[in-house]
Structure 1
Amino acid sequence: MSLKKIVIDPITRIEGHLRVEVEVDENNVVQDAWASGQLFRGIETILQGRDPRDAGLMAGRICGVCTNSHFRGAITCVEDAYSLKIPKNAEIIRDLMAMALFIQDHVVHFYHLHSLDYVDVTSALKADPKMTSKEAHKYHENPFRNSHAHYEETLKKLDTFVKSGKLGPFANGYWGHGAYKLSAEQNLILISHYLEALKFQTKISKAVAIFGAKTPHPQTLVVGGVTSVADMLNPQRVNDYLFIMKEAQEFIQRAYLPDAKLLAIVYRDEIKAGIGRANGNYMSSGGYSFEGERKLFSDGVIYKHDFENIQDFDPSKITEEVDRAWYDGSTPEQEVKYTDLNSDGSLKTAKNDDKYSWIKAPRYDKQPMETGPLARLLISYSKKNPLIISFVDEFLKETDLELIDLCTSVGRNAARAIESIYVCEYIFKIASELLQNIKYYDTDTWTKYSFETLETQTQGRAFLEVPRGMLSHFINIKDAKIQNYSVIAPTTWNATPKNFDGLRGAYEEGLIGLKIEDREKPLEVLRVIHSFDPCLACAVHVIDAKGKELAKYKTTNVAF
């Protein structure tokens, strides 16, 4: 059998630097795949020797998208190390910030990072505005901004882009590719919402900033709680947050969720064919409790798509290997051990001990796992979490799909949309809980402690469900300084290299068996990879570990 490699480097419309190589047979069917993180992780090195109370400020710089998630992960594992219990109000404020980030991330991912894998922009130019309005009513009784005038305005904007020759975000697409299936009117609906989502993300960012002081890189999270007590006690600030979230809920109900249904109906054949399905191992640490013991997300582990037998999540079963990542696994420090590419520029992957990625290989009970919105949905639904059941059932009924059908590229998009709508429901419940606490004079937002009296040698950990999946932070403290620090991000799990076990991670496994129509335009590969919402900045970072100067730049100030 004659095999040929297709290389996509870099994968665009993601956070960070990712290279994917697939090996296809004479029929262009993928037989093997390799996902390679292309920059070195180094934030853990920066943190060594620092004051544990500063961990959040630095870990929050791991990524420019997931800043709040890493900030919270860092301070939570420090609190775990020192057995500090934060006030309920502080937990609620942290959750309100996190939930706003969930919604922002999911909407931005679908429209601005992933939708153009399914939406043919040039086809939308041929749409009839009146027919577009009629088409939108198939997916919601009151579609978002569904008027002839609005669609005519959107067409004019697109036409201006095309005639100017400056396509901006719509440049370099595989327009006209045979894998596109949406009608001209369906394309126009999604392009319309693409443009509206640009406004949406600016508004939702303000919601995070209300309690975080700014975004990205919030400043109000501290070991022991939060510092935004003045915002919590200001009725106008809380009302501003709730108003933004109410607008977000409307957009999700009338645009995002209907668009996910549209996509699932049109691409039903690909869903039923299992396109993008990985190995069936799913994991969630659960969390976001309210009203006593109730949790937004259930914890658990699924093996091989067995939804009937959910195992308990056990952090002690997590390991992280480096056999096929660019590190020296023979040393406890796992020092950098980069190997050059092949002479033709391809990754070294021929042998079982070839290293080909900066991403380490986490395993749960020796198995690669998929984490993210789909994992949370499958586990929470299968464990009969009452908060999610009705949302999943409604989506499956309206699209005539089964639970297993969500375990696909299109299904991952559906899972995010479903998660977004029930996260909105949760936001108003916990905001109500916060207001009740204030009403009865509970205004604590910080647990007082004396750092000098805390243990000088200890360790802590944090497991959080964040937009892209399960995030874990680990800290070892010695002599009141950070001795070791480690982060395993969602993308580290999903984009794991094969390791010596030969087992593929979710990215690589999801590509196996994929039929590529045009080797020069591997749109199908992008669909699978983008469905995971890659964040390589969370999985790998760039820094010279020995403190060498990387580059020097000189700028000139110009007055305008």
Structure 2
Amino acid sequence: MSVINTPNGYTLDNSGKRVVVDPVTRIEGHMRCEVNLDANNVIVNAVSTGTMWRGLEVILRGRDPRDAWAFVERICGVCTGCHALTSCRAVENALGIEIPPNAHLIREMMAKTLQVHDHVVHFYHLHALDWVNPVNALKADPKATSGLQHIVSPKHAKSSPGYFKDIQTRIKKFIESGQLGPFKNGYWDNPAYKMSPEADLMAVAHYLEALDLQKEFVKLHTIFGGKNPHPNYLVGGVPCAINMDGDMAAGAPLNMERLNFVKARIDEMVQFNTNVYVPDVIAIASFYKGQLWGGGIGAKSVMDYGAYPKVNYDKSTDQLPGGVILNDNWNEVFPVDPADPEQVQEFVTHSWYKYPDESKGLHPWDGITEANYELGSKTKGTRTDIKELDESAKYSWIKAPRWRGHAVEVGPLSRYVLAYAQGSEYVIDQINRSVSDFNSLAKTNLNAKQVLQSTIGRTLGRALESKYVADMMVDDWHDLMKNIKNGDTSTANMEKWDPKTWPKEAKGYGTAAAPRGALGHWIKIKDGKIENYQCVVPTTWNGSPRDPAGNIGAFEASLMGTPVERANEPVEILRTIHSFDPCLACSTHVMSEDGEELINVKVR
């Protein structure tokens, strides 16, 4: 390959200088990224690779569908809970089970807690250091930092000069100790970092605040689900009883004391999102106003199944509506049907899997997960030490999902673009206010599309969603309390728990708004056991390799046209890839080098 024009509108050129980032760190799992730079250090070709094999579907065959949630939840320890929820929904959809209203509300609060926790941890602890230079914070004037804090977010309580002076002292001791931890190996002298010392100090202070708060947020999972990570779920509802007069010793997880504790944690999430997270993203973005690159497919071709239904699993009540937008046309939104075999399909032409006919995609109900690790003839290196991949052949352990043949981006940005285009008043107000604040700080005059269609816009979308779901949880909590006061304490529907009540064959699907985007599970049940199970996860959509038509996925598309300040310190690549919050653990799983069994565990 030299120069190729893709059907989805990108011109790829692999004749320039090849830069390899392997592994891409500060993500969940393992990923490799290769790009070609032209003479001006602009990315003209991108190759995204998942470097672990996915095999969970194989593990699930023949198992009890009621247990599937516990297996799939272990796909990832970061987006913990969303796979369990989606699995329960898939089984309930297959068997025609309706869960009680209380179970729905509790599931929603658990899912939204995950969103806030994941988004906060992603930004401050996985993504912020792509923009924030902690070493530069040592040059800051604490008094000026306090002044900046009052401009960015005057309601945040921790804003005195003394507070920032103490933070600066902590950073200095940390750096002087030589034990840099997460700050080690950063490109801290790279001119691609644009923030003032005061902005860096403010952001590092909030990095530390978020580190303390995130452990408080997930206590909701321990209240409702018994633990975190991997809280407990239940086909038919939730595994926690309500007894307002009971106590913990009597085996009543939900009483008034526990529910008040939940409300206090929700209030903390609301305050942090409102006073810290969203203002920080807008303030940081203002320093990078001239670098609104990295949009790729984002906001041009986007997809989501719909998110946060108010009534059980009724998609017509989704607070963030689903759909598909193609080719930047926000005036036309196509409906999504996960059960339609012509819509969601996975291709493996450039993936290390085997299909009977690799020119065709398979709907997840008919999905096949059969490993086929082979390298193209133009690959440089060996099977165990690849120097450069051959993207004209198979080059990733991630499949290539497509919606009616189209490569689309999924994620909080996609949900927000779809909601904005479909007239969601809350989202429109959020975006317009944020863009106005950005323009005020950056002294620019950009519109919503210009801001959203970028790496910065993708990061902003995630922050805005975090605030929205925290606000939604307040309503969920009050609705739960109203039901309980009206005498409804049911949390599970066990009418179809016994497999004897099931049909001989059934199939279903479940979808959810995972932190990283549209998540879908598809299940086929036969004779009470799982016949086939397939997960199509957000990073599979975003990190997909090319399909038979040559369309590139969202990771690859987002890198195209990005200028790189220093080829040997490609922080710009990290910024854009990290903006998706990749989860390679979700999209791939592990196998041995020669394909043999790694370990056999027997439980007696």
2:307 maps to 1:284: no
Q: 1:275 aligns with which of 278, 283, 294?
A: 294
| Kept after mapping to 2: 8 A contact 1:296/1:387 | no
1:17 and 2:17 are equivalent in the alignment: no
Residue by residue over 1:434-484, the C-alpha shift from the partner in whole angstroms, topping out at 9 and shown as x without a partner, is 111111111111112232121131111111112110000001111111111
Residues 347 and 356 in structure 1, CA contact (< 8 A), matched pair in contact too: no
Q: Which residue matches 2:53?
A: 40
Q: Residue in 2 aligned with 1:335?
A: 370
Q: Is the 8 A contact 1:296 1:426 kept in 2?
A: no
1:467-506 matches, within 5 Å, as 467-506=515-554
**What's the CA shift for 1:350?**
5.1
Greater mean alpha carbon deviation, residues 296-305 or residues 91-100: 296-305
Q: 1:434 aligns with which of 451, 458, 480?
A: 480
Counterpart CA distance in 2 for 1:491 and 1:534 is 6
Cα distance change, pair 347–363 in 1 and its aligned pair in 2 (3 A) = farther
**Which residue number in structure 2 is paired with residue 557 of structure 1?**
none
Please state how far the C-alpha of 1:537 moved relative to its aligned partner: 0.4
Is 1:89 the counterpart of 2:102 in the alignment? yes
The equivalent residue for 2:351 is 325
Provide the secondary structure at the position in 2 that maps to 1:471: strand
Q: Distance in 2 between matches of 1:398 and 1:362?
A: 36
Q: Does 1:406 align with 2:452?
A: yes
* CA apart distance, 1:252: 1.3
Q: Which residue of 2 aligns with 1:312?
A: 335
Give 2:5's aligned residue.
none
Matches of 1:308 and 1:86, distance apart in 2: 36
**Corresponding residue for residue 106 of structure 1:** 119
Cα–Cα, structure 1 residues 162 and 233, in superposed 2: closer, same or farther, change >3 Å?
closer
Matched to 1:283, the amino acid is M
* Post-superposition CA distance 1:528-560 (Å, at most 9, x none): 10000000000001146999442699xxxxxxx
**Secondary structure of 1:162's match?**
helix
User: Is 2:236 aligned against 1:191?
Assistant: no
Q: What one-letter code is carried by the residue in structure 2 that aligns with 1:337?
A: N
Give the alignment partner of residue 303 of structure 1, picking from 322, 326, 349: 326
Letter of the 1:517 counterpart? E
Structure 2 residue aligned with 1:249: 270
The match for 1:223 is 235
Summarize deviations over 1:272-325 as a string: whole Å, max 9, x none: xx3343361111111322279643211111112221222222322111010100
Cα pair 2:398 2:540 within 8 Å, conserved: yes
Alignment equivalent of 1:415, drawn from 447, 453, 461: 461
- d(CA) in 2 for partners of 1:348, 1:328: 19
User: Secondary structure of 1:465's match?
Assistant: strand
For residues 34-57 of structure 1, the C-alpha deviation after alignment (integer angstroms, 9 at most, x for no partner) is: 100000001100000101111011
Residue-by-residue CA offset, 1:382-437 (whole Å, 9 max, x unaligned): 11123322222211221234221212111111111111112111101111111111
Give the match's secondary structure for 2:68.
helix
Q: Which AA in structure 2 matches 1:454?
A: W
Partner of 2:256: 235
- Relative distance call for 1:294 and 1:51 in structure 2 (3 A) is closer
Q: Which residue of 2 aligns with 1:455?
A: 503
Q: Distance in 1 between matches of 2:254 and 2:208?
A: 35
Q: Confirm or deny that 1:388 pairs with 2:416.
A: no
Looking at structure 1, the residues matched to 20 and 509 of structure 2 have their Cα atoms a distance apart, in angstroms, of: 38
User: How far apart are residue 233 of structure 1 and its match?
Assistant: 4.2
- TM-score norm. by structure 2 comes to 0.88
Report what 1:70 is aligned to.
83
Take 2:112 and 2:533, find their aligned partners in 1: how far apart are those partners? 26
Deviations 1:86-129 (A, max 9, x none): 11111110000001110001100000000000011111110000
Equivalent AA in structure 1 for residue 523 of structure 2: I
Deviation per residue, 1:158-198 (Å, 9 max, x gap): 11111111111111100011111100000000000001111
Question: Structure 2 vs 1, CA of residues 144 and 499 (structure 1 numbering), >3 Å: closer, same or farther?
Answer: farther
Q: Does 1:210 align with 2:223?
A: yes
- 2:297–2:408: 8 Å Cα contact kept in structure 1? no
Kept in 2: contact 1:260–1:417 (CA 8 A): yes
Q: 1:312 to 1:343 in 2, by over 3 A?
A: closer
Which residue of 2 is the match for residue 363 of structure 1? 402
Structural RMSD (CA): 1.9
Is the Cα contact below 8 Å between 2:241 and 2:253 reproduced in 1? yes
- The one-letter code of the counterpart of 2:337 is D
For 2:519 and 2:184, the matched residues in 1 are separated by: 34
Whether the 8 Å contact between 2:240 and 2:253 is mirrored in structure 1 is: yes
The equivalent residue for 1:346 is 387
Q: Alpha-carbon deviations, 1:344-381, whole Å to 9, x = none? A: 32343253xx0000000000010011011001111111
Contact kept? 1:233, 1:438, Cα under 8 Å: no
Aligned counterparts of 1:23 and 1:546: Cα–Cα separation in 2:
31
User: Residue 205 of structure 1: CA displacement?
Assistant: 1.4
Structure 2 distance, partners of 1:546, 1:57, is: 28
Q: Cα gap change, 1:140/1:80 in structure 2, threshold over 3 Å: closer, same or farther?
A: same
Report the alpha carbon displacement of residue 340 of structure 1 after superposing the two structures with TM. Answer: 3.9
Q: Could you say what secondary structure the match of 2:523 adopts? A: strand
Structure 1 Cα separation of the partners of residues 289 and 119 of structure 2:
22
> Measured at CA, do residues 338 and 95 of structure 1 come closer, stay the same or move farther in structure 2, by a change above 3 Å?
same
| 1:284 partner amino acid | D
Is the contact made by 1:15 and 1:536 (CA closer than 8 Å) also made in structure 2? yes
SS in 1 for 2:218: helix
Hey, what's the Cα distance between the residues in 1 that align with 2:500 and 2:594? 31
CA distance in 2, matches of 1:399, 1:521: 28
Moved more, 328-337 or 367-376: 328-337
Letter in 1 for 2:121: V
- 1:52 corresponds to 2:65: yes
CA change 1:457–1:81 in 2 (3 A) is same
Contact (CA 8 Å) 2:121, 2:214: kept in 1 or not? Answer: yes
Aligned partners of 1:6, 1:211: CA distance in 2, in Å?
A: 47
The whole-number CA distance in structure 2 between the counterparts of 1:69 and 1:40 is 21
In structure 2, C-alpha distance between the alignment counterparts of 1:367 and 1:438, rounded to whole Å: 46
1:268 aligns to what SS in structure 2? coil
Judging changes above 3 Å, is the alpha-carbon distance between structure 1 residues 434 and 551 closer, same or farther for their aligned structure 2 residues? closer
Choose 378-387 or 74-83, whichever is displaced more: 378-387
Distance 1:46 1:545, change over 3 A: farther
How many pairs does the alignment contain?
A: 548
Identity, % of aligned pairs? 40
Closer/same/farther in 2, CA of residues 100 and 333 from structure 1, 3 Å limit = closer
Alpha-carbon distance change, 459 to 311 in structure 1, aligned in 2, over 3 angstroms? same
Spell out, residue by residue over 1:498-557, the C-alpha distance to the aligned partner (whole angstroms, 9 max, x if none): 12211111100010111111111011100110000000000001146999442699xxxx
CA shift digits 1:46-70 (9 cap, x unpaired) = 0001011110110111111122001
Maintained 8 Å contact 2:89/2:509 = yes
Asked if 2 retains the 8 angstrom alpha-carbon contact of 1:406 and 1:412, the reply is: yes
Distance in 1, matches of 2:397 and 2:108, equals: 32
